[in-house]
Amino acid sequence: MTDGRSYRFTHAISRTPANSITKGLRAAEAGDPDPATFLAEHKAYVEALRETGAEVTVLDPLEAFPDSVFVEDAALCVGGKAIALRPGAPSRFGETAAIRPALEAVIGDVIDLDGDGFVDGGDILVTEHEALVGLSARTDAAGCAALEPILASLGYTLRQVNTPPEILHFKTECGLLDAETIFATKALAATGCFAGYRVIEAPVGEEAVANLIRFNDTVFISSGHPRTRDLLTAKGYKVVDLSTGEAAKVDGGLSCMSLRFSIPQ
């Protein structure tokens, strides 16, 4: 029996995008995001999370850190605790310290990683009882080794998997639909990393939609993927589209823009 703790949340933390987002990291050039449009998309995103019944804390923008809107990479909130991560991109090294006060205010004490390894939250897919952590350009084996005992103390095992080199983050191409089901691109599913789970593959040509999020009773997907919407709706999921066009220009998506968690009552 599972309790849905991997997708039922009471709270979220998000951060308003800074104007410096135009300097954000990206693997390929797709033009600079427009700050005003990004802000509008972000406000719609936050409002959608609130409509699920969650309390959403929105932090002020950090101009010194262009990618700081992607709060998921700086911390992992799981098991009623916050874990301070160590993002792998040098330009993001200060983001964890910047978000710590909010984590302490909303969740409480923050657990730090030991050692010098790196872990980006975008490489961690948390299910009911384990965390799948993909090794990538931003997450290394030393970071996984430091994270493993922390997760164990919170009742989770860590499954280390290899993210194909052409994929920035593990969750760029996968997302959790429910306790037993993962949505993923065919390429990522073919690696065998989801053994033990039911996998629904993204329709060909709609691979960019794989970074979806399940938040309470709603599955949020990036707009512009009608076949995915129809596929998931037919399988019984409540699907809501959100525009992420500006985030995509700097390799961001739905999961990146919030830390989602429950505070024990």
List Cβ neighbours of 172 (8 Å cut-off, separation of 6 or more): 122, 210, 211, 251, 253
In degrees, rounded to 5, the angle at the alpha carbon of residue 11 between the alpha carbons of residues 6 and 15 is: 110
Annotated active-site residue 77? The verdict is no
From the candidates 11, 42, 169, 225, which is the catalytic residue? Answer: 169
CA gyration radius, the chain: 17
Using CA atoms, how far residue 212 sits from 15, 20, 34, 68, 103, in Å, is: 19, 25, 22, 20, 24
Q: Which tokens hold the place of 178?
A: 């429910």
From the candidates 77, 174, 193, 256, which is the catalytic residue? Answer: 256
Query: Are the CB atoms for 71 and 99 separated by under 8 Å?
Result: yes
Where are the strands (E) in the chain, listed by range? 11-15, 55-59, 75-78, 81-84, 110-112, 124-126, 130-135, 157-162, 174-178, 181-184, 198-201, 213-215, 218-222, 238-242, 259-261
Using CA atoms, how far residue 117 sits from 73, 89, 192, in Å, is: 14, 12, 25
Annotated active-site residue 225? The verdict is no
Q: Is 114 helix (H, G, I), strand (E, B) or coil?
A: coil
Q: Is 171 helix (H, G, I), strand (E, B) or coil?
A: helix
**Distance, CA of 138 to chain centre:** 14
Residues annotated as catalytic (active site), given as ranges: 169, 256
